[in-house]
Chains A and B, each alone.
Chain A
Amino acid sequence: MVLRWGRRAFLPVAAVVLAGTVWVATLGPGVLDGEVRSESRSWVPSIGVDLAFRLGALQWVLALIVLGIGAIVLAYCTWYFHDDSTGVPRFAGVLTAFVAAMLGLVLSDDLLLTYVFWELTTVFSFLLVGHDPTRRSSRQAAIQALLVTTLGGLALLVGAIMLGQAAGTHRISEILADPPAGTLVTVAVHLLLVGAISKSALLPFHFWLPAAMAAPTPVSAYLHAASMVKAGVFLVALLAPAFAGVPGWRSVLLVLGLATMLVGGVRAMVQHDLKLLLAYGTVSQLGFMVLVLGVGTRSAMLAGLALLLAHALFKACLFLTVGLIDRLTGTRDLRRLTGLGRRMPVVAVSAALAAASMAGVPPLLGYVAKESVFVALVDVAREGDGTGIPSYAGWLLLAGVVLGSILTAAYSARFVWGAFADREVAEELTVRPVPWGFAAGPVLLAALSLVLGFAGHRLTELLGLEAGLFPEGVHEAELSLWHGVGLPLGATVVALLVGALLFVVREPLLRWQLSFTHQLSLERSYRWSMRSLDRTAVEVTGVVQRGSAAAYLALILLVVVLVPGSALLEATDVVHVVAWQTPVQAGIGVVVLVAAVMATRSRRRLRAVLLAGATGYGTALLFVLHGAPDLALTQVLVETLTVVVVVLALRRLPEYFTDRPLSRRRYLRMALGLGVAASVAGFLLVSASSRTAEPVSATLPELAYEYGGGHNIVNVILVDVRAWDTLGEISVLVAAATGVASLIFLDARGTGIRRVHEIPYPAGVRKEPRVAGKRAWLPAPRTLAPENRSIIFEVITRLIFHSIVVLSIYLLLAGHNDPGGGFAAGMVTGLALVLRYLAGGRYELDEAAPVDAGKLIGGGLAVAALAAVVPLMLGGAVLQSAIVDIPIPLLGKLHVVTSVFFDVGVYLVVVGLVLDLLRALGSQIDRQIVRDLREAAREEAAP
């Protein structure tokens, strides 16, 4: 909508929010009667989080503030933005979402739900503060606000969880009705307070709020004056009735609140930017509110809530005024503004009213609230009022608040003077006329400040509902314009008079303040901590991440040796060994070990690989002796293929490993190798000896036959019991084949398959004319140089090739009952192809298997996946197998288990893999060799 209509679309959006405001307002009479509305929906029952909402008096007031000011600010945006301002649609969306999140926050009745909304407001505020991502200051401010408030939010979360655990529920109303106690609760409440303090920008987190003024002014007016920063205050108000007595609650809130109030006031006096002046003013006022609510008496609560309402009204009004001035003159610097009081009298009057409310001038709402604060504090100072605050502290507090009020009065005056007074300026100021709608928002808010000042009685009734949660105080708590002549009135008079005095002497005061050194700047310490965090990250990464794969591996292995390995030393007594089961094992073992050591010492590539192959064959023999024929079969096949493939690839690599000077490191490596070997031996001995339970596979033979329909248990495990594993495994094969192909071919798989009959005979071969067929039995005459050929090898290969393929198909089908299976069969077919390639070269290979390896692999995976999924469609489980007997005439019946289809998929994938390896590491490298030779010859011929 905003995209299409531009900034005018803010009006309908505002209307929606306004409708919400009106609806909430109609609930007013009910709320005044003490009625509480609540709704709840189960959300995450497993951790007891409900979408619980509750509307009492406090929530009603805050919801009205959130929605009402939200509507005003949204409408105000219509005039604030240009038609061509960037990011307005996003801004409108985020601001509206923020209104919703804020409403959720004040209405939520579940601690964890509160946290969710709390963080949502943080995130939206990040987006809103960083509205203009091209400005550095706005990015920094957004990140700063996000980090600080999220830190507090985390504390809040921990506190909420702890409190929820202590109380046995996350429902806020239930916790407040029956507050738990104890050390845990004290800690939890303080964590909640950390969240509240950071959100409401109290010392020591206050610095983010002025920085966040980089946001567009409507955002500042809404988030940083009326709603988001009030979240902390709201939380304090919500928890105060139940937890004001928790140890440390009052001291923390009173001290921090007072300090914030004074620091904010002092800083506000030196600002030239009207918006920053207001920002520090807001910091000061937030401190004031938290202080008053933190006192925790009935009259203080009443006063604090009134203050909260008053502040939302006047501060939003003032921010909107600043935005208006900024928009119409192009600056907010009070040294450049002049004569605005004459040019926009309506705005000036409304801003003056709001500022007066801030200063506490009768008869505005701000005065009513502040006066009752003084009443409450005088009660506390005189008699404690049930808080246990000692008398001297009470007087000190009162004096501090009076001082803070003096500053408030002074900077309020400074604001009005700065914005609207006439003064000498360097440049002529251009002022645009004020559109009526632009000024409507601030004027309305100022009018409310005035009207509500006279509504003290009704407000007392309303807010008294919430304040009534506290025990009755010394005096009947009441909001009114006239509390009689007494100390509170004196305090107000003193605050206003001395504030006026401070304003009069502003010039010398400013100079004196500017000469004051800020030794301790929290903003700087934030910057310092961010920098040290970054430094630490860099240092740690620099130390830990050496960039050498060997170093990482060594570290990991070292940990393996040291931590679990050393634990083995404790467990030596359980070991029971036999030397061997047959002496042959020992013989093979020795051979394997010797081969391994020689492979390790070898400097030649080929030798190392062949010796490693020897260890593989030795392992296969050990498998046989152990009673694992399937393993032995597969191992032999795989080992053979490995050796062939490695040799194919290594033929181009240098014969010797890269020569490098022997370093002392190799002794370290040797030691590590020994250590790992010793640990492995230890693990095996200890773990295998301490076996006591019957193996899970004890029942497998019967199960394999009954459900898997096969006698070969290993195969049944692979294609039935643990078929998921096998599916994953062939996927790994597919990935590896793809990887190899892409590393060698670099783009597509080769240049396609060329059949022999497409190739002309070389000059040296004389072709005997023949009639039939395009195929030659031995294609090599056309494709291989005579010196590379071995006729006997070619002929034998050609003769036995088909027998090998038939054997592999037998293995595939028989695998369910006898040694074999998809892997072994695939490997056998693969080896047959290897033979063809070795005998006749790459064209012979294409002749033997004129298919693209990729298609074979993909097809295999598809078949396996189908075999997995089809049982699901037939109402079974994934990969479930069924047994079917198909009678075949003459031959008897074919006993088919459906899992054989799965095995066929495996077979195809394996054949495809081998073909891919041959094409990549064989054919393609052949081509590269030929190309290199040709190029070398050309270069030689050239000069």
Chain B
Amino acid sequence: MKLTRRMTLAAFAGVLALGTAMPAYAADLIAIITPSHDNPFFKAEAVGAEAKAKELGYDTLVMVHDDDANKQSELIDTAIGRGAKAIILDNAGADATVAAVQKAKDAGVPSFMIDREINATGVAVAQIVSNNYQGAQLGAQEFVTLMGEKGNYVELVGKESDTNAGIRSKGYHDVIDDYPDLKKVAQQSANWSQTEAYSKMESILQANPDIKGVISGNDTMAMGAYAALAAAGRKDVIVVGFDGSNDVRDSITSGGIKATVLQPAYAQAQMAVEQASEFIKNKKSPEKEKQLMDCVLINADNAPKLETFALKN
């Protein structure tokens, strides 16, 4: 019997070493799954979550799903297979994700959503999301003021499969459409991409040289649009973004892009890990599953205080 146990242990250790390269001590594992880190916003989420998890004594497994729901489903399988005690997830689709999170739940692995909601409650333990609609309204109000409540403008929309692309666009129009002298001459998706925004902006500008402003669904597209406008000698065009990236902060402080809206990505990811830890250690769920975090308008007044998706005091 003794021999059996020793051999079992050895086999167990062997399998773990082969499969997962876990350290010798067995700290609980938290899986952190986000879209690609090419976008600094998602990187800030992953970095924030990882830092908090390590601080609280967890091992981490950081993975990216590239906004592909199938890949996300596989990553969730990986997290379950690796014995993760919780999953921190910035998901790849409000509808498509529900089944994947349910699968984790059925396997006894609780999920904590950040940044984007899913279209179901009672499946994830927590959904901590930025109030994108409130943020979009803030950005749009600033845009309306900068535009003097009139003129032609362009809207760049994010990736269609991403809930937040739709929410922000709705939030923008919620405000802008109250001003009949603001005329939208073009609305195109640049899929959150800087290069795509650059080329889309080039062609939009050729067709509509009389534009006065561009409102963009995120900062990377705002950066692409502003680069195209600058290359065409149209630095006069008002550009407003969304996310609060360091790139846009630098553009604002040097008089380029006019404003953006900060999502507290770093703080949000840390809050999710704290709640996950509370759940793992004390079986305690947060009081409310859905938790909204307000966004903050960033313009020339407060841009210098912005650093890696957080405002310094």
Q: Do A and B come from one complex?
A: no
Q: Which residues of B contact A (CB under 8 A)?
A: none
Interface residues of A, Cβ cutoff 8 Å to B:
none
